[in-house]
Structure 1
Amino acid sequence: MDQWDQLDKELRVIRRLKFSGYFLIVADIVDFCERSDILCQGRGSAANSAVCYALGVTSVDPVEFGLLFERFLSDERTGPPDIDIDIESGRREEVIQYVYGKYGRDRAALVANVVTYRPRSAVRDAAKALGYGHDQAVAWSKRLHRWSGIDPGEAQGIPADVQALAGELRDLPQHLGIHPGGMVLTEEPVSQVVPVEPARMKDRTVLQWDKEDCADAHLVKFDLLGLGMLEALHRMSDLVRDFHGRVVRLWQLPPDEPEVYEMLCRADTVGVFQVESRAQMATLPRLRPRRFKDLVAEVALIRPGPIQGGAVHPYLRRRHGEPWEHLVHPRLMPALKKTYGVPLFQEQLMQVAIDAAGFNGGEADQLRRAMGAKRSAARMEELKERLYAGMEERGIVGAQADQIYDQLKSFADFGFPESHAASFAHLVYSSAWLKCHYPAAFYAGLLASQPMGFYSPASLIADAQRHGIEVLAPDVNASGEVASLVATAREREAPLHGVADVRLGLDNVKGLGGEAGRRIAAAREAGPFGSLADLARRAGIDRARMEKLAVAGALGSLEGDRRKALWAAGTVDERPGTIPGTGPAAPPPTLPGMSAAELARADYTGLGLSVETHPMELVRAGLDAEGVLTARRLPHMKDGKRVEIAGIVTHRQRPSTAKG
């Protein structure tokens, strides 16, 4: 089927189901984002639609990928389609307010989210209810790290009555929140359909129903979701344009650059969207992606379902030559060939039902939904009979039919939408392309978009330094509100398209606040600050914030000695409008300079990181004397030998293993 035939087919379904208005509203929201220079991208099952692609809602060509439209919409489906739009997180509120403004506050509202008790909150509230003090309750709750269930190893010392009551509270409603992005639009005033209340956030109203209630009532919902990587990509492309003079259009990047895939094969992916986790970094050198579709598989492969379903290792082995064709029934080959006989995508489940049992697209989607997380035993039994009858007509009976049914049933537990994986793969490639060719802009964009992603700013800075990029500390006479690029004397070498260093922004200074950072950057446009008093007067910086700047080393251009700067910050008493030189002018006393350890401590106090010193440098000599190994020596140790290592905890993670 070519593109025109696909569009005709989809438009007929959309007209029959009377969803034309829904698509036009979504297209209008996307058009607003484009007019306002806000990055957005449709994802999820909407990427199965050629109409969504033609409207600019999604960035995946479903005809090229062979995606099934029925995964998104069909005559057999009840309720409206579900289109998720990712919007750069820093500007999502603009889009929400546009929807309110265009369609009316009486006909638009955000969907509620029922927040249920998890182990930490359950232990905390249970302890308080049983009369324990607030501090003790919080201390007990902080021991727990699991999302589901209380780990006995972590719960040691928590009284049995607290654990028992917390177990009863688990999964019960705790409070009403706001859905991450769901908005409802109605023809009549929404308050006539569902209870509405003002949200805590200004200019927002929220339903008192969650998304499941809204679906049951057939309310039309739009998901406007914030995505930090889109904000970071926008910042990166702006930095490349402003500093290097090249306009980067993310959706028009060449999708097959060998240098980008070489970087991915090396697992040089700190900060790269979706492939920066340890599991992804361990898989990339084994998968060795060479084209865009390999990234789609990578996104879908390293997830709890495929890992626990035992799909990862067979896929990797077969990709590199292990025979597998004899394991797949010929009827299933068209659907499973692209993933070496290992089912990864929900669309493959549907295609198997179509090829093996003669289902149409709508019936195949019903099978997928019946076999999904919210299984209906009656509906599954009904479809099972239809499936077996269809397979018998095509000569698939007995053990072969049972094997296909069992494969479909087990696969339904973890299959990932190929359309969703393809949408995310575009962001994987875009972020990898920028890291490969403009690494300084890549890191600056990530640092300016914090908090987001898998790694902390300190980890991102360390990775930038490993790539030869100098990262400079914030300074009131050099830094903007957020991280920026500065010129460097380094030569440009392939595959780099531009070289630069990074200057941290004033937003990295703890306790300074965004408004104070903006005032400093704005006041400096009239010329550099000449003294601490000049800074206080022109930017309106009070004594407390001046001390925050001093601790962080951001006053280095005005007073190079950190201890003297801290002393002077406590004596400055000039404000906007005062006559220069009328404040206290006593010179600081003679003070000893800070040691390397004191400077590092001040950096971590003021910034949460240090661009000059890693804390391990300060204790390495003592660790060496005690026989504590460095990472460089570990590969040379005998297998099975017990060793001691030391480091700093950057983040905690407890991912599910193949055994759960």
Structure 2
Amino acid sequence: MMAAHSYYSLRYGTLSPQRIVDTAVLLGYKAIALTDIHNTSAVPDFVACCRKSGIKALAGMEFRADGRWLYTLLAASNAGMHEINAFASACHLSHTPYPPRPGTLSHVFTLYPLRGISPENLQENEYIALQPHEVQSLFSSPFRSRSSRLILWHTVTFDGKEGFELHKILRAIDLNTLISKVRPFDLADPSQVFLSSDDLLNTCSAFPSVIRNTERLIERCTFDPDLASPKNKKTFTGNAYDDKVLLEKLALDGMRYRYGAHDSTALRRVQHELEIIDKLRFSSYFLITWDIIRYSLSRGFYHVGRGSGANSVVAYCLRITDVDPIGLNLYFERFINPKRTSPPDFDIDYSWKERDEVIDYIFKRYGHAHTALLGAMSTFKGRSIIRELGKVYGLPKSDIDRLVHQPESLLAKDSVAAHIERVGARMKNFPNLRSIHAGGILISEVPITCYTALDMPPKGFPTTQWDMYVAETIGFEKLDILSQRGIGHIQECVAIIRETHGLSVDVHRVDEFKVDPLVKQKLKEAQTIGCFYIESPAMRQLLTKLKCDDYLTLVAASSIIRPGVARSGMMREYISRFHNPGGFQYLHPIMEEQLKETYGVMVYQEDVLKVCHHFAGLDLADADVLRRAMSGKFRSRAEFQRIVDKFFLHCNARGYPDTVTQEVWRQIESFAGYSFSKAHSASYAVESFQSLYLKSYYPKEFMTAVINNFGGYYHSWVYFNEARRLGAHIAVPCVNRSYYKTRLLEETIYMGFIHIQGLEERVGKGIVANRELYGPYAGLQDFLGRVAAGVEQVVLLVRVGALRFTGMQKAALLWNVHLYFGRARPLSHLRSLFNMPVKAYTLPVLEQDALEDAYDETELLGFPVSLSWFDMLQTGYRGAVMSHNLPDFVGKKVRMAGQLVTLKYVKTVKGELMNFGCFLDYHGRFFDTIHFPDRLKYYPFRGKGVYLLLGTVVTEFGSPGLEVEKMALLPLKPDPRAAD
């Protein structure tokens, strides 16, 4: 029997499942086994390949301990694969080693290495795997008289000498060592290459009974998994009828909540959807999602419902989403249609602080045996391959960097570099590591281990060993439970408002926010820093170009900002048509009929569906395949190509000019991997309005919440700057005022201890806990006696200014701190009745320079607080033009001074590198820059700081920018202490 390790034996195997099967067929095998090391990731793909090729598939798993082969478990049936997966999962989930013997597994054959067990200890269904190179040793082995328990077993890991070298490289990467230091023990035997069926049988011709045993074992294996039928939990209540009744009741109750009792349009839509949901047996999927939402609402958690399911009125009525599909005219067939075989996907966003509790509820509610996080498979690709290979070949980091960024400089003259390039090409897209999908959860009708073994990653929840593509292929539909920081800062802002003002803000009053004059003004001016999804430089430019001040325009903007639409030129076309709706011609009357709302431009995924269906005449099922492929959620290349061919065939049959067909297809193609559904964009726009409302009316509270939730587009210092611009005073951490996270106290935002680089979390939280227990710190000695912190930690607090409440200068504080730690510390850090005072010394007056504080703040907080970057410059020059003056200088050359905020790297059509920059002027206002390759080559960016910029002011649709010709990083005043 030939048994293969695929390249899913991570950093070990070198063969794809398809390659294994194709080669086995060529070599004359009627059956072949896949026994990857510690995983069953490739089993579904392997079985599918075998079925297409007409070869019998056997499958199992190889188990090892410290690199040594313990045994291989081979599934005798589908129940056997369940047992193997369950056995492996039990070890993985409990982080326990594999036992020396697996115990009784009723539907599994256990295969041991020749010297792994004594003949008399073999149990029923246990065998010895005799490898070809071991056959000769059988003449003197005790197993010669027990040949009925022997089978012929040949493991394949690579194909020939080059394959062995690739295997060796993978092992070096896995062991994080040089290739020259990989030990033979760490490698597969070089004999683990393909043998023809005849050659393999010939190796054991002296023992025909072993061959017969092997053939009988193959016959006894009846593993034949179902790779097609739906596998999600089938019912919510226990039977389909009760599911239907419950869903109908909930939907109608919800309809009255959303639309009132007498909305006939809503009633017709709800009834129509319920009919199709029941017909396609999707009721349980909706009810399970509703149940999760019900739980989270009961806990006071805020959520955002997205995904194609947001096109459903039923989902809106169940409060899964907050987007009204009728009001937005969302395309129903995007969500569900009678030809669709899989339920719509729901993406539910929670705050990053609450998501894990929701996931924990799902596991407890639906059972750990039936629930798992969806895995993901990272692959070797791009720069990561070069870096990994460079390390194992011993290249210095400088050469690796050059090979990554400037390969042409090394490839021609360096044989090692050329070899790395060749090996990298072979390794491209090899599986590298198993990880976790961003939020996918599977809830299975039968135990999940019927289909996969489970891992236990640091996240702490069982995770499948295959990814979303395999899950979909074999009949699973995931539910995405995601987290984002935007929801977190909305919730925290509401809490701060309640705490500081005693007001309860209802962030669900979105219809009021959409028409609020102040909110509309802020949106139109792109005053959106900190607001979810609309704060990036590119998005703020787009809002300015559209003069966006309404919800529907923001919904469109949230989609056309995506890279595919922008790169295709259709974003610019949309803006042009938006401002001049009568100044263009539609490509075809059908495009006008279907895309009038978006001026003939495909903006949403639904638009692709509409065009494919109405323009090209594809049925909805085929159109949805194309739409899913465009979204990166469909991996069958052959199926995709079939639909593409059908698209062009239909267009030709309808008599469309080739130029029109090609342009329509070009626009469809631009969506690849990047498009949003309209419901998705609408959900994002709702959250954007919520953020913008809070920022408009409670700016300091909002910015505090944004800072505390991290994860925004910008570094924290940008949000502190924005808070200062909005009227807040920013204070460095203070042991008597600050919390571990940032705190708003009246008009002052006190930075949290979390922002002090190098300060231990234990110390920061301990300062707050002690203060809340015993009151404010009375002085330096009181603080030192109460807080469990070493001298290094206290010095950090002194340098950052956190002990300024004492009224002492830093130099004096440092003197006294070191004096304190020079004597024996108290045995307890609790408040003491007998604290002995430290002997007082009279120090000379020590000068303190504000610039010293700024340098300390920059080192410890990441940016200066008491001064600005501009205040630290050697020059007093602040620029001839400020951000707000740019529209007055269009077409003119100007000089500006700007603090670098962020950079975007882009490659031109010629493959040259260019940059888009975002800066702050002296007054803290943003402006944008363009750096073309010919200028960037001579005037590159040189890190953070303030730059002097010379360039021409340009504008597009009213959004100004600076096309930079020259720039230089302005020098700072030296730290006064540097001369000491």
TM-score between the two structures when normalised by the length of structure 2:
0.59
Deviation at 1:182, TM superposition (A): 1.5
The one-letter code sitting in structure 2 at the alignment partner of 1:600 is A
Matching of residue 607 in structure 1 with residue 861 in structure 2: yes
8 A Cα contact 1:120 1:142, kept in partner? no
Give the Cα–Cα distance (whole angstroms) in 1 for the partners of residues 805 and 381 of structure 2: 48
Deviations 1:381-426 (A, max 9, x none): 235545666xx4xxx7556973685366445546431111111111
Asked if structure 2 preserves the Cα contact closer than 8 Å seen for 1:117 and 1:173, the reply is yes
1:264 counterpart letter in structure 2 = L
Aligned counterpart, 1:238: 495
Q: Is the 8 A contact 1:228 1:449 kept in 2?
A: yes
**Counterpart code for 1:304:** P
- Residues 367 and 383 in structure 1, CA contact (< 8 A), matched pair in contact too: no
Conservation of the 8 A alpha-carbon contact between 1:536 and 1:542: no
- 1:500-540 Cα shifts (integer Å, max 9, x gaps): x4222222222334443333223222311113343344443
Give 1:602 deviation, angstroms.
0.9
Post-superposition shift, 1:158? Answer: 12
Between the aligned partners of 1:416 and 1:658, the Cα distance in structure 2 is: 25
Asked if the contact 1:46/1:83 (under 8 Å) is kept, the reply is: yes
Letter in 2 for 1:91: E
CA contact (8 A) 2:377 2:433 kept: yes
**Once structures 1 and 2 are overlaid, which stretch shifts more, 562-571 or 597-606?**
562-571
Whether 2:402 is the aligned partner of 1:402: answer no
In structure 2, which of residues 298, 309, 313 is the aligned counterpart of residue 35 of structure 1?
298
Query: Contact 1:119/1:141 (CA < 8 Å) preserved in 2?
Result: no
Give the Å deviation of 1:82: 1.6
Partner of 2:804: 556
Local SS of the residue matching 1:62: coil
Q: CA deviation at 1:357?
A: 5.9
Q: 1:181–1:342: structure 2 CA closer, same or farther, 3 Å change rule?
A: same
Give 1:448's match in structure 2, choosing from 696, 708, 730.
708
Deviation of 1:344 after TM superposition, in Å, equals 0.9
Of residues 663, 676, 679, the one that matches 1:419 is 679
1:377 aligns with 2:638: no
Do the aligned residues in 2 keep the contact of 1:307 with 1:657 (CA within 8 Å)? no
User: Deviations 1:71-112 (Å, cap 9, x if unpaired)?
Assistant: 223232233432111111122211222222222222222222
Which residue number corresponds to residue 580 of structure 2? 321
Q: Which of residues 467, 475, 480 in structure 2 aligns to 1:210? A: 467
What is the one-letter code of the residue matched to 2:326?
V
CA offset at residue 358 of structure 1? 6.3
Matching of residue 129 in structure 1 with residue 370 in structure 2: no
Contact 1:563 1:591 in 2 (8 A): no
Q: 1:549 to 1:370 in 2, by over 3 A?
A: closer
Q: Structure 2 vs 1, CA of residues 80 and 406 (structure 1 numbering), >3 Å: closer, same or farther?
A: closer
Aligned residues: 628
Shift in CA distance, 244/657, structure 1 to aligned 2, threshold 3 Å? farther
Pick aligned residue for 1:165 from 420, 423, 434: 420
Letter in 1 for 2:865: V
Instruction: Give unmatched runs, 5+ long, in structure 1.
Output: 489-500
* Alpha carbons of structure 1 residues 536 and 33: separation in structure 2 relative to 1, 3 Å: farther
156 and 360 in structure 1: CA distance in 2 versus 1, 3 angstrom threshold: closer
Once the two structures are aligned, what percentage of the paired residues are identical? 28
Which position in structure 2 is the counterpart of 1:271?
A: 530
CA distance in 2, matches of 1:86, 1:381: 37
In structure 2, the partner of 1:332 is 591
Q: What root-mean-square deviation, in Å, do the aligned CA atoms of Structure 1 and Structure 2 show?
A: 3.3
1:282 aligned partner: 541
- What's 1:75 paired with? 338
Q: Secondary structure at the match of 1:178?
A: strand
Name the residue aligned to 1:53.
Answer: 316
Distance 1:97 1:337, change over 3 A: same
1:441-590 alignment runs, 5 A limit = 441-450=701-710, 452-488=711-747, 501-525=748-772, 526-570=774-818, 571-572=820-821, 573-574=825-826, 575-577=828-830, 579-580=832-833, 582=835, 585-587=838-840, 589-590=843-844
Name whichever structure is richer in strand by fraction: 2
Give the AA of the match of 1:323.
Answer: G
C-alpha displacement at 1:436, in angstroms?
1.3
Q: Following TM superposition, by how much is the alpha carbon of 1:129 offset from its aligned partner in structure 2, in angstroms? A: 0.7
Indicate the SS of the match to 2:360. Answer: helix
Q: Tell me the CA shift for residue 658 of structure 1.
A: 8.5
Task: Report matched runs for 1:119-158 at 5 Å.
Answer: 119-132=382-395, 136-137=396-397, 150=405
Contact 2:348 2:482 (C-alpha < 8 Å) held by counterparts: yes
1:215-234 Cα shifts (integer Å, max 9, x gaps): 22222422111101111111
Q: Which residue of 2 aligns with 1:189?
A: 447
Name the counterpart of 1:179: 437
> Aligned in 2, Cα 1:23/1:637: closer, same or farther, shift over 3 Å?
closer
Structure 1 11/641 Cα, relative in aligned 2: closer, same or farther at 3 Å?
A: same
Confirm or deny: 8 A CA contact 2:379 2:430 kept in the other structure: yes
Q: Could you tell me which runs of 5 or more consecutive residues in structure 2 were left unpaired when the two chains were aligned.
A: 1-263, 912-980
Partner SS for 1:63: coil
1:652 maps to which of 885, 888, 903 = 903
Q: Which moves more between the two structures, 36-45 or 169-178?
A: 169-178
Q: Specify the code of the residue in structure 1 equivalent to 2:905.
A: R
CA–CA distance in structure 1, aligned partners of residues 414 and 806 of structure 2: 55
The CA distance in 2 between the partners of 1:176 and 1:303, in whole Å, is 28
Distance 1:631 1:583, change over 3 A: farther
User: In 1, distance between residues paired with 2:364 and 2:909?
Assistant: 48
Amino acid at match of 2:591: L
**CA distance change for structure 1 residues 215 and 561 in 2, over 3 Å: closer, same or farther?**
same
Indicate if the aligned counterparts of 1:124 and 1:140 stay in contact, CA closer than 8 A.
no
Query: 1:495 — aligned with what?
Result: none
Distance 1:79 1:471, change over 3 A: same
The Cα offsets for residues 165-200 of structure 1, whole Å up to 9 and x where unpaired, read as: 264355433322222212222233222320112223
Q: 1:620 to 1:282 in 2, by over 3 A?
A: farther
Give the C-alpha shift of residue 593 in structure 1: 3.7
Distance 1:639 1:379 in 2: 48
Q: Distance in 2 between matches of 1:240 and 1:411?
A: 44
Letter in 2 for 1:457: S
Find the counterpart in structure 1 of residue 226 from structure 2: none
Deviations 1:325-384 (A, max 9, x none): 633533332321111222211212223345446666545434534666556112332355
Q: 1:582-622 deviations in whole A, cap 9, x for unaligned?
A: 4672446547343222111111222222221123312242x
Preserved contact between residue 304 and residue 656 of structure 1 (Cα < 8 Å) = no
The CA distance in 2 between the partners of 1:337 and 1:250, in whole Å, is: 32
CA gap of 1:46–1:516, structure 2 versus 1, over 3 A, is farther
Q: Please point out which of 366, 377, 381 is paired with 1:103.
A: 366
How much does 1:299 deviate? 0.8
TM-score scaled by structure 1?
0.86
Q: 1:462 to 1:650 in 2, by over 3 A?
A: same
- Kept in 2, the 8 Å contact 1:109–1:190? The answer is yes
SS at 1:174's partner residue? strand
Matched, 1:310 2:569: yes
Q: Which has the higher contact order (CA 8 A, sep 6+)?
A: 1
**2-structure distance, mates of 1:72, 1:369:** 12
> Which shows bigger deviation, 530-539 or 41-50?
530-539
Matched residue type, 1:579: S
Equivalent position of 1:16 in the other structure: 279
Give per-residue Cα distances to partners, 1:454-503, cap 9 Å, x unaligned: 11111111122222221122111111222222224xxxxxxxxxxxx422
| Cα deviation digits, residues 286-312 of structure 1 (max 9, x gap) | 201121001101111212111111112
- Deviation of 1:637 after TM superposition, in Å, equals 8.2
